[in-house]
Amino acid sequence: MRIVRTLEELGDALEDADTVGLVPTMGALHEGHLSLIRTARDECDVLVVSVFVNPTQFNDPADLAAYPSDEPRDAALAEGAGADVFFAPPAEEIYPTGFATTVSVSGVSEPLEGAHRGKAHFDGVATVVAKLLIAVAPDVAYFGQKDAQQVAVVRRLVADLALPVEISVCPTVREPDGLAMSSRNVRLAPEDRPRALALKAGLDAAASAATEGADPRAAEAAGLAAMRERDVEAEYFAIVDPETFAPADDLTRPALAVVAATVDQVRLIDNQPIDPIPTQEAL
């Protein structure tokens, strides 16, 4: 595996490459990331794993300061999972002096995560992803379903700018107890870890209510109630259209239950697809 830190080195490493895959990460790699890398390894000739803790997408400086970082560990894990190129640029390589461009995706970026973390969050995501996609020029870029709204923003970005890349979304990987894998999980105190399962309990309750015929708002209420039983209050809990992230009006089309909550000062997100309920015409 080749470790590169500049855009020039990256270009040299990818010269004459055939099918290129990109797994963009912020480091602190876990099994969720490694599942993306393994999938990409099976599908691409040359695989780039990027590690860049993007400062522009953090609305809370304390959250940025607390974000875990261990580059030697990340490099070893990426190489073990099959990466060919490990791109770990310093901040000044991505945002050099005089950098003055921001990519902003309206609509899908505005509710939920956008509302709670501020406009700058998804502007930061869209800007750094656009720069990575242009720099790497991958045939396929791999993202995890756990960050569902981020994926929707990236899909909109790619479609609107007609970028020649396929966005592949891989399933959320979970801990044995059901908690969605996240780099933030290591910050949970052992005594608070069971409370973090409130997010999955809420999603399961909402999906069950939807299956039993509840409308979206009633299913949301069921999810919130299940979380409160574990002494966790959601920042938001919503059933939305998975492409626009607007509230779902009914459940006759695919929908997505999404949730965010803070447990032990650690902010967590999760989501779960909800299959459409057959209409009378379809029966």
Show binding-site residues for ATP. Answer: 26-33, 144-147, 173, 181-184
Both structure tokens of 79: 């190489």
Q: Output the known binding site for beta-alanine.
A: 57
d(Cα 169, Cα 166) in Å, to the nearest integer? 10
d(Cα 216, Cα 257) in Å, to the nearest integer? 9
Q: Are 133 and 163 in contact (CB under 8 A)?
A: yes
Query: Which of the residues are catalytic?
Result: 33
Q: Output the known binding site for (R)-pantoate.
A: 57, 150
d(Cα 164, Cα 137) in Å, to the nearest integer? 8
d(Cα 219, Cα 211) in Å, to the nearest integer? 9
Residue type, 219: A
38: CB partners within 8 A, 6+ apart: 81, 82
**Which residues are registered as beta bridge partners of 260?**
236, 269
Residue closest to 271 by CA, chosen among 175, 186, 145, 184 = 145
Q: 3-state class of 234 per DSSP?
A: strand
Residue type, 88: A
189: CB partners within 8 A, 6+ apart: 264
For the chain, the distance separating the N- and C-terminal CA atoms, rounded to the nearest angstrom, is 54
Q: Output the known binding site.
A: 26-33, 57, 144-147, 150, 173, 181-184
- Which phi and psi angles does 160 have, rounded to 5°? -70, -35
d(Cα 178, Cα 167) in Å, to the nearest integer? 26
